[in-house]
Structure formats: C-alpha cells, structure tokens
C-alpha cells in the first residue's frame, strides 16, 4: 500500500475518532488510561443501547483495520528514517545499531496490544450487562500499554526525523 494512501486513511480515521464518541453517547474506553473495572462498566452502562451496539460493531470492523493501517504506516516511516540515517544491516558493526536497524517492527507490537484491547472491549460490550472484572482489568492494561507504546512510537518518529534534519543541516 502506497505511503500516501496510508496517510490519507489514517487522517480519515483520526477525523472519524472525533465523531465516534458523539455517536456512542460517551467517552470511549480505548482512549482512557488505567481505568478500573467499575469505571469501565459505568461507562458502558452510560451508553444508550444503540451506542453499545455501534461501539461493538465499530470495534470489530474499523478498529480492527486501523491498527494494521497505522502499524504499516509507522513501520514505513521508521524504516525510511532509519534507512536515511544509514542504519542498515550492511553497515552495522556496533551491536546497539542492530537493535535500531530493526526498530521499524516496533509499531507491530503496538498493534498487538491494540487488537487485544479491541477484543476485550468487544467482549465486554457483547456480554453486557454481565460484568467480567478480570476482562475489564485486562482491557485497561491493554489500553494503557497501547497508549504508552503508541506515544513512544510517535516520539521515536519525531526524534529520528529531528536527528535526520539536524544531520542534514550539519552536512550542508
């Protein structure tokens, strides 16, 4: 998939994310950090029936596709930035450089946590009003780890881009 197409798809999805809470009827669990099972089920309880149905449907359709798209996008960007910094396997002699040369796979770790989060939230929505405390704790854990890793990935992209910018400025 072309970089431009992935960029457009991600842009559309971020726009869609601003609309979803209005459709669902409240804040989304997958954007909350370290929530308790009580908070999770109170939030789900506050959704109208149609909101719960929409959130469940969105979770197994759009929210299962989006992690794949952003992982591919971020991996492509990281690979490009790492390649631009000349950190490829051929030129690596320092073992710490080998780690960074494979760092572009990191967005797929974020994707795994995002998909586990989606599966947990979907299950909670479908089984509601039955409360599964352990599942809610797992969903909170997956969400929190996903958010931390997602921010780390964005920070890494920004940091590598700035390093590349500074390096190119010094070269001229």
Residue 2 lies in a domain: no
Residue 3 lies in a domain: no
Overall number of domains in the chain = 1
Residue 5 lies in a domain: no
Q: What is the pTM of this model?
A: 0.81
Q: Which two tokens stand for residue 132?
A: 């599964």
pLDDT at residue 6, as a whole number? 61
Q: How confident is the model at residue 134 (pLDDT cuts 50, 70, 90)?
A: very high
Say yes or no to pLDDT of 156 above 60.
yes
In the chain, what percentage of residues exceed pLDDT 90? 51
Exposure on the CB side of residue 88, measured as CA atoms within 13 A: 7
pLDDT tens digits, 71-129 = 999 999 998 888 876 544 445 455 555 556 678 889 999 999 999 999 999 999 999 99
Cα dist from 9 to 21, 57, 59, 61, 115, whole Å? 19, 19, 17, 14, 18
Residue 90 lies in a domain: yes
Domain hosting residue 91, numbered range = 35-171
pLDDT tens digits, 61-83 = 888 998 999 999 999 999 888 88
pLDDT at residue 56, as a whole number? 94
Which whole number is the average pLDDT over 131-135? 97
Q: How confident is the model at residue 165 (pLDDT cuts 50, 70, 90)?
A: confident
Residue, of 168 and 87, whose pLDDT is higher: 168
Q: Give per-residue burial for 90-105: e unless 16+ CB within 10 Å, then b.
A: eebeeeebeebbebbe
Which whole number is the average pLDDT over 23-36? 86
Dist. CA 171–CA 131, nearest whole Å:
60
Residue 27 lies in a domain: no
Residue 28 lies in a domain: no
Residue 21 lies in a domain: no
Residue 124 lies in a domain: yes
């Amino acid at each position: 998939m072309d970089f431009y197409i992935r960029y457009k798809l991600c842009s559309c999805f971020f726009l869609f994310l601003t609309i979803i809470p209005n459709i669902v009827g409240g804040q989304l669990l997958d954007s909350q950090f370290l929530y308790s099972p009580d908070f999770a089920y109170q939030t789900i309880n506050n959704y109208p029936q149609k909101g719960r149905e929409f959130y469940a449907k969105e979770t197994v359709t759009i929210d299962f596709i989006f992690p794949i798209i952003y992982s591919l996008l971020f991996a492509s960007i990281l690979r490009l930035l790492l390649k631009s910094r000349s950190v490829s396997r051929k030129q690596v002699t320092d073992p710490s450089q080998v780690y960074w040369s494979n760092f572009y796979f990191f967005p797929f770790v974020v994707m795994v946590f995002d998909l586990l989060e989606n599966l947990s939230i979907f299950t909670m929505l479908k089984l509601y009003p039955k409360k599964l405390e352990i599942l809610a704790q797992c969903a909170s854990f997956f969400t929190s780890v996903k958010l931390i890793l997602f921010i780390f990935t964005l920070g890494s992209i920004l940091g590598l881009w700035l390093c590349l910018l500074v390096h190119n400025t010094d070269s001229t």
